[in-house]
Structure 1
Amino acid sequence: MSRDWTSTLVRARSAQDGGDLALAARLLADAGGDPTAPDDALRLLSGVLRAQGRHAEALPLLETLTRRRPTSAVAEHNLAAALGDCGRAGDSEQAAERALTKGGAAPETWLVLGRARTSQGKLAQAEDAFRQALAQRPDFLPAYRDLAQLLWMQDGDLTRMTQAVAPLAALAGVREDAALLYATILRDTAGDGAALQSLAAWVERGSVEAALAAAAAASGLDPRLALQHAQRAQAQAPHDQRARLAVLTALIAAGRAELATAGLEDHLRRDPGDQHARALLLTAWRLVDDPRALTTEDYARLVRTYRLAEDDAADRGAWLARTAAALRRLHPFRSHPFQQSIQHGAQSMIDPRAAGDPDIDRLFEALRAPIDAYIADVRPGGLAPTAGGWSMSGAWSVKLKAGGLHTDHVHPRAWVSSAAYIETPPTVEAGGHEGWLRFGAARIGAAFALPAQHWVRPEPGTLVLFPSYLWHGTEPFSGSGERLTVAFDLQPA
């Protein structure tokens, strides 16, 4: 007897509309194995899975849809997008090209194609794809963002980048979302002052989003001005938790931490997974000498270093050298990406797990045992290792030369964060802290600086694990050599 997919779809759509993606996924779980399941069931389930970040599980459903609808450009586009989210850039590129061959001309498909080419280092072809997306839709904001980042990361040429996105600057005068995107791009390229100036008109019009963006930009210039913008946003949207958190952040940066602690404690009761708020609260406690502030002993307990691949020294050294060479092939850029902590360095645009290199694969296999040991021993966030294990929510590689660094930051929605060292510059052994990983130097505003409380000397072939709410960054280094790392975030499974 065939299943009543009509009523199942009604219930699943209702669950999706109500925000219960888990229920929608459970209701449709059998669709992939049922040849009588309609296309709508496969489409809905694949969309729900992707919204949950379960892109690999969505792939078989999307592949079935492309077989059922061999002339459909939409089916190929959806497959291409999911393949890209799984890190399979080459397959994503092929699927996007098939979508275009089948008559698809949507700017979204050109965007997926551009991203797939970027991940493979096909930079000129990627630029062409982003420009094709904008030719199809001149106000397509994601293509402006990706085009700007692509050009910036190639050489850090501000003039070339701003000329390419000049139409976005014009749109910013009439569309709020364009203004917010343009300000974000300016913050990462021209600086906070340029970003703040670009938002002025929208702030005066009463835009809450612009006031929040202005508060973020002003934090790099003047904490009092940041507080004014944050308070403006809160006055306009008193129930907006983002505005409330912006005010609390600005209070700390302005030297009024005692006024922020109660608000941060309340925020964390509402949203205990907000690691940025937890980092702010720990900072506030430190400033007011609260006994709950982190101590030297806390850092020693929470930050752990593990040695990877305990093989013979010759094999280990050769493996690290091969891994370094493989990682460098993932780095076609010279400048930093947008909205990341890295400055004056390069970050890979492809997840190293998808590189298909045996030495990188060996690295990720070698991470499993220390991750298990860390979670079992430290139990970050109070979660027991038997509560479901862990999953890796993202991974990337960073290459720094002299002058490069990571600004101090936290990972707002992660659980455990990391740094695996593949190659380090000679200065890390010079007796100071050059190139070292540091903790506790909170980065909240231009006039706000706390000294680091804990350091870890990087050593090739070691892994450092720590809770994602700890402020962490790197000390800049001078001289020759490179600092080549792999990092990733973990989530409770």
Structure 2
Amino acid sequence: MIPGAAVDPMLARALGQAGQLLQARRAQEAKALLAQVTARFPAAAEAQRLLGVAHLMLGDPVGAETVLAAAARLAPRSADIAAHLGEARMMQGKIDGAEAELRRALQLNPDHVAAARPLADLLGRTGRPEAAAAVLAPLVERHPGAVDLVSDQSRRLQALNRYDDAAALMRRLCELKPHSHVAWHNLASTLLHGGWAEEAEAAIRQAMTREGGDRAETWLVLARTLQAQDRHDEGEAALREALRRKPDYDDAHRDLAHLTWMRTGDPERAAADIDSLHRRLSRPVPALLAVKAKIREYAGDHAGGLEVVREAADAGDPVACISASQAALHLDPALALDYANRAAERLPGTRPPVNARLEALLALGEARTAEAELLALHEREPNDQFHLARLALCWRMLGDERYAQLYDYGAFVRAERLDTPKGWSSLSGYLEDLKAALVELHTLHTHPIGQSLRGGTQTSRNLTRSPNPAIQAFFEAADGPIRRYIAALGEGSDPLRRRVAESYRMAGIWSVRLKPNGFHADHVHPAGWISSACYIDLPPEVDAGGKEGWIAFGRPGSPTRPPLGPEHYIKPEPGLLALFPSYMWHGTEPFGGEHTRLTVAFDAVPQGSAA
């Protein structure tokens, strides 16, 4: 078709009919109609575009890309076609091609929200959160009342730990759209993630008074705000209200199972509601099978976890395949790799199957293959701490000198005592008050799912928002050691020193109370830059002459061939703050006796002109 030329009446009618079918989600009928239209009018770019949309709606990104590439040749100035083409490539895991088309759409139309939001999502998923926020910022400035757009930008700012900015954006949205339950709901989520649990509860209760606010999703956020305030009975009741409105709600089932596990330590009770749902449905929900499998894993039963998801994984469900790969890792690494590869075929370019595949390769001793894949990932996401941790394992297994540079314990691991904060005459006196404040927050029975902790409890509240003077004084007590650590790093081009900035900010802070025989499984901190362990109260076994309760560095948290052990230790002492790179594998040796072990941990990230 020639731009500006008259449109054939038959073509115009067909395009209108196809558009109505797509709007009604009748994509198969629209596809059949548009196939006829494009055969008769091969130069009709709009018909090709709509046909591409039909392919996308039917889950056929390959067919969509073919049709939309043809449409782009017919109408190279169409931002809509470029945006859809970017979406088709993103669904296939063609990250670079998708990014190029989405950026081209925004060049053609800087106000194209349907291109900006998926581009921001792509940038966020590939480790470029600053770029993701930058894409949306000008559109949000022009459209401050666009609920979905502003909510998306709030999530981007949260990924940068800019919670104050994210909350301000959402508060402004609620002023502009005071009757929108979605706006209030998303404000509550933002406040919750930023640690303002009480204000988040108030916002979600506002959402509940708006039209459409009595939804399962709203009750879920209410439950989370209550749990963040250690009001676990009320939180459980709110989760059950969510499930009453939406009985197969995956997120609510997962939260309820995790809460029940942390309150009881009983995997059967934790999975009871999921089992009840499956009996009513007469079919399993793969995402909930994965929840059951993960609970069994955290109860120490890898074989049981694999058994839970194996049938669904063998049937090809990608979520079940990822779960099966994780469960099989400690039992049969070759099987773990097979499940990871199956998941990658169905979810190309996404992080979970990539991570599962890398873990399986290392468990099989395939360090060279893993290294090649990790180097490509590291080039794209240079600050990803998991990529660095796994690269370190590859280089250690291969005897590569780069390992010693990345895991330079002498330069990168440091421990010194907290400073005594204002208001206390001694560090020991301060630690007693801090211990009392923290113990009050440890209200659950056992460790959370998805964390390194085994045999103990972790605080639910965001400690940065605690009103307790002793907890607030911790930030002053730790500030001096953190700044001295950063100053001692000096300058360098390695992944740790090249990020040294004018200052730092806390990206998360929590307390852990280990019970006797408890420990931290070896792990890294994917969202951090500098991580920590600060010792508040210790069992006597720490001084018994062995390494009970000590922090160990270098031993990976997933199997390798050959097995790799720890290389460096720090002996805990009350008031000692250990600082180290977030990509460094670390864990805690179990300890016996009858006393608990109380710590505070946090992640710090650069603030200012970081590289």
2:503 pairs with 1:393: no
Distance 2:559 2:245 in 1: 40
2:265 pairs with 1:156: yes
Select the residue among 427, 432, 436 that pairs with 1:321: 432
Distance 1:158 1:242, change over 3 A: closer
**Percent identity at matched positions?**
38
- Residue 344 of structure 1 corresponds to 455
Kindly state the Cα deviation for residue 492 of structure 1 after the two structures are TM-superposed.
2.7
After superposing the two structures, state which structure 1 stretch, 383-392 or 434-443, moved more.
Answer: 383-392
Contact 2:364 2:560 survives alignment (8 Å): no
After superposing the two structures, state which structure 1 stretch, 449-458 or 90-99, moved more.
Answer: 90-99
2:170 pairs with 1:62: yes
- Residue 53 of structure 2 corresponds to none
Q: Which runs of 5+ in 2 are unaligned?
A: 1-108, 121-130
Select the residue among 198, 204, 208 that pairs with 1:96: 204
Kindly state the Cα deviation for residue 331 of structure 1 after the two structures are TM-superposed.
1.2
Cα deviation, 1:132-172, whole Å, max 9, x if unaligned, reads 01111111111111111111111212232222332454569
SS at the partner of 1:293? helix
Distance 2:407 2:362 in 1: 25
Distance 1:279 1:66, change over 3 A: closer
Distance 1:116 1:467 in 2: 31
- Residue 420 of structure 1 corresponds to 534
Select the residue among 457, 473, 489 that pairs with 2:571: 457
After superposing the two structures, state which structure 1 stretch, 306-315 or 334-343, moved more.
Answer: 306-315
Distance 1:71 1:229 in 2: 47
- Residue 269 of structure 1 corresponds to 379
Cα deviation, 1:339-376, whole Å, max 9, x if unaligned, reads 11100110111111111111111101222222222223
Distance 1:377 1:172 in 2: 61
| Aligned counterparts, 1:19-168, within 5 A | 19=120, 21-27=132-138, 39-40=145-146, 44-53=149-158, 54-67=162-175, 70-102=178-210, 104-168=213-277
- Residue 207 of structure 1 corresponds to 317
Kindly state the Cα deviation for residue 16 of structure 1 after the two structures are TM-superposed.
2.8
Distance 2:407 2:261 in 1: 42
Distance 1:423 1:190, change over 3 A: closer
Distance 1:237 1:116 in 2: 32
- The count of aligned residue pairs is 481
Kindly state the Cα deviation for residue 409 of structure 1 after the two structures are TM-superposed.
1.0
- Residue 4 of structure 1 corresponds to none
Contact 1:426 1:480 survives alignment (8 Å): no
Q: Name which one, 1 or 2, has greater alpha-carbon Rg.
A: 2
Kindly state the Cα deviation for residue 69 of structure 1 after the two structures are TM-superposed.
5.0
- Residue 301 of structure 2 corresponds to 191
SS at the partner of 1:476? coil
Distance 1:207 1:132 in 2: 29
Distance 1:404 1:321 in 2: 22
Kindly state the Cα deviation for residue 222 of structure 1 after the two structures are TM-superposed.
2.6
Contact 2:507 2:605 survives alignment (8 Å): yes
Q: Which runs of 5+ in 1 are unaligned?
A: 1-7, 32-36
Contact 1:222 1:447 survives alignment (8 Å): no
After superposing the two structures, state which structure 1 stretch, 343-352 or 363-372, moved more.
Answer: 363-372
Kindly state the Cα deviation for residue 27 of structure 1 after the two structures are TM-superposed.
1.5
SS at the partner of 2:528? coil
Kindly state the Cα deviation for residue 334 of structure 1 after the two structures are TM-superposed.
1.3
- Residue 487 of structure 1 corresponds to 601
Contact 1:149 1:337 survives alignment (8 Å): yes
Select the residue among 467, 488, 491 that pairs with 1:356: 467
Contact 2:144 2:150 survives alignment (8 Å): no
Contact 2:290 2:323 survives alignment (8 Å): yes
Kindly state the Cα deviation for residue 28 of structure 1 after the two structures are TM-superposed.
5.3
- Select the structure with the greater relative contact order (CA < 8 A; seq sep ≥ 6): 1
Q: Which amino acid aligns with 2:508?
A: G
Kindly state the Cα deviation for residue 51 of structure 1 after the two structures are TM-superposed.
2.7
- Residue 3 of structure 1 corresponds to none
Distance 1:363 1:257, change over 3 A: same
Distance 1:121 1:448, change over 3 A: farther
Kindly state the Cα deviation for residue 242 of structure 1 after the two structures are TM-superposed.
5.1
SS at the partner of 1:335? coil
- Residue 553 of structure 2 corresponds to 439
Kindly state the Cα deviation for residue 411 of structure 1 after the two structures are TM-superposed.
1.9
After superposing the two structures, state which structure 1 stretch, 195-204 or 350-359, moved more.
Answer: 195-204
Distance 2:149 2:284 in 1: 35
TM-score, normalised on structure 1?
Answer: 0.87
Distance 1:154 1:359 in 2: 27
TM-score, normalised on structure 2?
Answer: 0.72
Contact 1:168 1:178 survives alignment (8 Å): no
Contact 2:419 2:427 survives alignment (8 Å): yes
Kindly state the Cα deviation for residue 181 of structure 1 after the two structures are TM-superposed.
3.6
Cα deviation, 1:71-104, whole Å, max 9, x if unaligned, reads 5444432332222112111222222233334452
- Residue 477 of structure 2 corresponds to 366
Contact 1:212 1:243 survives alignment (8 Å): yes
2:385 pairs with 1:284: no
Select the residue among 324, 331, 335 that pairs with 2:442: 331
Kindly state the Cα deviation for residue 297 of structure 1 after the two structures are TM-superposed.
8.5
